[in-house]
Amino acid sequence: MSIEKSIQSLSTLELQRNGFPELRGGNLGVRIAATEAERDAAQALRYRVFYEEMGARPDERTLRLRRDVDAFDEVADHLLVIDHAISSGAKGVVGTYRLLQGDMAQKVGRFYTSGEYDISPLTDFPGRLLEVGRSCVDPRYRGRAAMQLLWRGIASYIFLHRIDVLFGCASLPGTDPEPLGDELTYLYHNHLAPPALRLRALPDRRVEMLRTDPLGLDHRRCLARLPPLIKGYLRLGGFVGDGAVVDDQFNTTDVAVIVKSELLADKYYRHYERRLRDALD
């Protein structure tokens, strides 16, 4: 049986048994939020990380609720990392990633990323889109295990829903592009998306990424200073869009990221073949 057919068979089998499968690594598991309480736990974690830790600026409602909530949450799936040693439900949520499919975005009228970038190269693309965002992990779990589980969860989701391209906004800390000049230049010079997939920052929000001499960059130093999430996209063969965007509310400088799903799939083929064999034994 080919790898592609193996994955298709596994997807059908697991959808019949479990809907979205939970993936485990020791006490940690990753799955889609199944209850309102679990989604609320994800929003509470986002508030703690984005607002209390990273210095985002809450409006009155956000401060009162102590939750990071917006209109996209209602129509998105919420990928959760759960520490089963604490709880197998909402109290065990220690990581999250928001996943928004194209047909669900239509219910809101747009993708979140379209507030910062012209995403028409993707919306004109003849394939299934997945916007990823609002990624965060509890400080006590920011090791390799939690992030690997999140990536495995995204890969599983892509297989099950036949996603062709995933994209979103990834953040560098701070709202002053100058200290980030080397990193932004490195991303633009080495990982700019091809024209067919190239998102462009909206003209009134655009910040130039090519800020220093690319030939004088210390690539190793630039990579070391990039946030782990952006490095993860690059390891998967991902690209960045043209132009950065300063997000004053979240105290970040954002770049658009784009990954064709087969690049992510390659990394996890063996894992899914192994799970298929286990399921059929």
pLDDT band at 261 (very low <50, low <70, confident <90, very high): confident
CATH of the domain at 154: 3.40.630.30
Which residue type is seen at 111? F
What span, in angstroms and rounded, lies between the C-alpha atoms of 18 and 107? Answer: 26
* Total length of the chain: 281
CB atoms within 10 A of CB 169: 25
pLDDT band at 144 (very low <50, low <70, confident <90, very high): confident
Range of the domain at 161: 3-280
The per-residue pLDDT for range 86-131, each reduced to its tens digit, is 999 999 999 999 999 999 999 999 999 999 999 999 998 888 999 9
The per-residue pLDDT for range 235-250, each reduced to its tens digit, is 888 999 999 999 999 9
Counted domains in the chain: 1
What span, in angstroms and rounded, lies between the C-alpha atoms of 80 and 188? Answer: 31
CB atoms within 10 A of CB 19: 12
